[in-house]
């Protein structure tokens, strides 16, 4: 099974001033670009230290200018918080500014607390998301926009901008269950999960099943990805030592609003202890050989074809993240790619 590598980023609160964090992250993204990662995916969160890039388009405009081949996008735009016509224009700008490298992530938003802070009733989020996504995709096709729904109405609005990629940039969604895979397959949507490998396998198996039912070729399957924290170092001890405090800070940021409101994130159960987090397969931490072997095992168990690596999180210093990327590029990616190629060749008829 061939595997493509991408990067996922919460841009959660670091230990350095925010301006410095942005600049160090952009330097890291330049390294992703040189290393040959497929895409950089940025989460959107609000009113929480988990999301220090609450307007992804602003940061991604800088990414467009600091990279040459790396694709990028929000994963996901919280559509229930946007005016869809305004976001469609922003999508066109980013795709044009990057020469057609934008990836379009869409969703309703996982946190009802973040939505409520913006005056959006959580029970209305799904309806807003469905209508906003329909409006955006119609707008990206160009021409004149007419739409009549419960939340949005447009009457012959002239559309003067279109993206480079036709009819629109590749679509991405996050998921924690196999239930939505039929829609993903029908619309050729790439999907990503943070789930454990066993639950991820249920998603990937169902996606492939739905894809086959529609008569599509297996080799044309969209990306089905899994996100994991990554620290690669010269020794296991050094990697674990660096990761422990960084994970603790990231975990506090991740849980802050849920804890404040006495709720829990849906379909997400993360251990508080970093050792348990690593043992649970939510992170690949250690030497290049150890990271590669654990990643290979998890990839095969989950049935994914896309691995999203989170190299920067919490108060992990830039230098540690950068060293992880360099070691990953030099000693993990090539051997995993070569192993996948050999396995695919072995399946061909003699």
pLDDT digits 0-9 by tens, 274-306? 999 999 999 999 999 999 999 999 999 999 999
Q: Which residues contact 273 (CB under 8 A, 6 or more apart)?
A: none
DSSP 157: E
pLDDT band at 267 (very low <50, low <70, confident <90, very high): confident
Is residue 34 scored above 90 in pLDDT? yes
Q: What is the pLDDT of residue 344?
A: 52
131 SS3 class: helix
Backbone angles phi, psi at 43, to 5 degrees: -75, 155
d(CA 305, CA 234): 27
% the chain with pLDDT above 70 = 96
Strands 153-159 and 143-148: antiparallel
In 3D space, the residue among 45, 163, 27, 37 whose CA is nearest the CA of residue 115 turns out to be 45
Q: Which residues contact 63 (CB under 8 A, 6 or more apart)?
A: 26, 29, 40, 70, 72
Q: What is the pLDDT of residue 2?
A: 85
The residue that leads in pLDDT, 336 or 54, is: 54
% the chain with pLDDT above 90 = 92
Average pLDDT over residues 137-157: 97
pLDDT digits 0-9 by tens, 195-204? 999 999 999 9
d(CA 9, CA 59): 12
pLDDT digits 0-9 by tens, 180-214? 899 999 999 999 999 999 999 999 999 999 999 99
Q: Which of 109-113, 169-173, 249-253, 335-339 has the lowest mean pLDDT?
A: 335-339
Average pLDDT over residues 8-18: 97
Is residue 223 scored above 80 in pLDDT? yes
- Whose tokens are 């992703």? That residue is 32
pLDDT band at 269 (very low <50, low <70, confident <90, very high): confident
Q: Which of 53-62, 222-231, 259-268, 305-314 has the lowest mean pLDDT?
A: 259-268
Q: What is the pLDDT of residue 180?
A: 87
Average pLDDT over residues 311-332: 98
Q: Which residues contact 248 (CB under 8 A, 6 or more apart)?
A: 274, 314
pLDDT digits 0-9 by tens, 35-64? 999 999 999 999 999 999 999 999 999 999
pLDDT band at 336 (very low <50, low <70, confident <90, very high): confident
Q: Which domains does the chain have, with CATH numbers?
A: 4-75+175-346 (3.20.20.30)
76 close to 106: Cβ distance less than 8 angstroms: yes
Q: What is the pLDDT of residue 348?
A: 46
pLDDT band at 1 (very low <50, low <70, confident <90, very high): low
The rounded mean pLDDT for the chain is 95
């Amino acid at each position: 099974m061939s595997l493509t590598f991408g990067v996922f980023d919460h841009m959660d609160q670091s230990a350095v001033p925010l301006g410095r964090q942005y600049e160090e992250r952009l330097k890291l993204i330049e390294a992703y670009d040189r290393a040959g990662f497929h895409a950089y995916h940025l989460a959107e969160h609000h009113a929480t230290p988990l999301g220090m890039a609450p307007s992804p388009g602003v940061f991604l405009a800088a990414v467009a200018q600091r990279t040459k081949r790396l694709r990028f996008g929000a994963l996901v735009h919280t559509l229930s918080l946007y005016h869809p016509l305004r976001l469609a224009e922003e999508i066109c700008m980013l795709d044009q500014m990057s020469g057609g490298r934008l990836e379009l992530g869409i969703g309703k938003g996982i946190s009802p607390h973040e939505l409520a802070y913006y005056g959006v009733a959580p029970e209305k989020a799904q309806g807003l998301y469905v209508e906003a996504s329909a409006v955006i995709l119609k707008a990206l096709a160009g021409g004149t926009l007419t739409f009549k729904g419960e939340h949005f109405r447009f009457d012959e609005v002239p559309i003067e901008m279109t993206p480079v990629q036709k009819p629109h940039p590749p679509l991405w969604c996050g998921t924690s269950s196999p239930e939505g895979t039929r829609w993903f397959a029908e619309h050729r949507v790439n999907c990503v999960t943070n789930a454990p490998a066993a639950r991820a396998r249920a998603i990937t198996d169902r996606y492939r099943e739905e894809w086959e039912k529609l008569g599509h070729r297996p080799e044309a399957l969209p990306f089905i990805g899994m996100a994991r924290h990554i620290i690669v170092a010269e020794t296991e001890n050094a990697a674990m030592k660096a990761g422990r405090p960084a994970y603790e800070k990231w975990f506090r940021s991740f849980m802050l609003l849920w804890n404040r409101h006495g709720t829990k994130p849906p379909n997400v159960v993360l251990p508080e202890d970093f050792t348990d987090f690593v043992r649970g397969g939510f992170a690949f931490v250690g030497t290049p050989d150890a990271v590669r072997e654990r990643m290979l095992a998890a990839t095969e168990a989950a049935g994914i074809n896309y691995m999203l690596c989170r190299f920067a999180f919490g108060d992990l210093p830039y230098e540690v993240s950068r060293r992880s990327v360099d070691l990953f590029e030099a000693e993990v990616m090539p051997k995993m790619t070569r192993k996948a190629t050999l396995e695919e060749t072995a399946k061909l008829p003699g």
